[in-house]
Amino acid sequence: MIRPLNQIGKVILVTGASSGIGLATAIFLSQLGARIVLIARSKEALAAALAQLDGTGHRVESFDLSEAEAIPDLLKKLSSELGPISGLAHCAGSQAIRPLRILSTKDVESMFRLNVTAALMLAKGFRQKGVHTPSGAIVLVSSVMGIVGAPGRSAYCASKGALQAMARSLALELAPEGIRVNCVAPGYVRTPMLEQAAAVIGAEAMRRVEEMHPLGFGEARDVAQAIGFLLSDASRWITGSTLAVDGGYTAH
């Protein structure tokens, strides 16, 4: 492993840790020596994820992030039991293809509650006294859809763009407290979420989407490694930034 990414002994919280990018992030960070707090809703999926981690001292926490009001108290409890948290990767998120003609306010509110409101409450919880280490880092998983947009995904694109604006604002607000805040913006990555999208739009449309990535579709670990970099001391002078990890998708 690259020495600057060393996370030995650090406590890092990963949301959406039971599958996809969240699971890959938890695995990668555990390989770097971190103790991981895995957060997701399903106890069974969390148990399966825990079994894939390297090292010991990890913790699973079954929690519904849509219950955003309870998030700061959750982080306070976790830090009191495990010690100060060094990093937070918010990988949980909601995605749905909803053309404007069928988009409802319920769709919009549900997507923003998990993608945006939960992220804000995680940051609020992380910055509490005693919760984070003197130099902490937050990484929010946005999307290329927050940069370029796509038909039928206006609410999703809006929520992911909001994360990037949020990261810039929080970076300025939390810098005096020693907390860095950044985003990663993945392109299309081979995860269960991509499989769901393929089932909706069809194989031919998915082939055209892959052609828009000069390097092809990515793997969840490609994004996990970028998250690991932004959580590590190797990125100590980076905050308020969005790193596109997209195989060249946004280079068009």
Q: What order of strands is seen across the sheet that includes strand 132-141?
A: 59-62, 35-40, 11-15, 85-90, 132-141, 179-186, 242-245
Tally the residues of the chain: 252
What's the token pair of residue 86? 């060094």
In 3D space, the residue among 104, 192, 90, 106 whose CA is nearest the CA of residue 143 turns out to be 90
Secondary element (H or E) of residue 73? helix 71-82
The reply to whether 156 belongs to the active site is: yes
Residue with tokens 């006294």: 129
* Phi, psi values for residue 136, rounded to 5°: -105, 165
* Phi, psi values for residue 97, rounded to 5°: -90, 115
- What are the C-alpha distances in Å from 71 to residues 77, 121, 203, 233, 245? 10, 6, 39, 26, 28
What's the token pair of residue 150? 């796509």
**In 96-241, where do the E strands start and end?**
132-141, 179-186, 189-190, 218-219
In 3D space, the residue among 186, 244, 232 whose CA is nearest the CA of residue 29 turns out to be 232
What's the token pair of residue 207? 């082939």
Distance CA 192, CA 41 (A): 16
From the list 112, 126, 156, 188, the catalytic residue is 156
Catalytic residue positions, numbered: 156
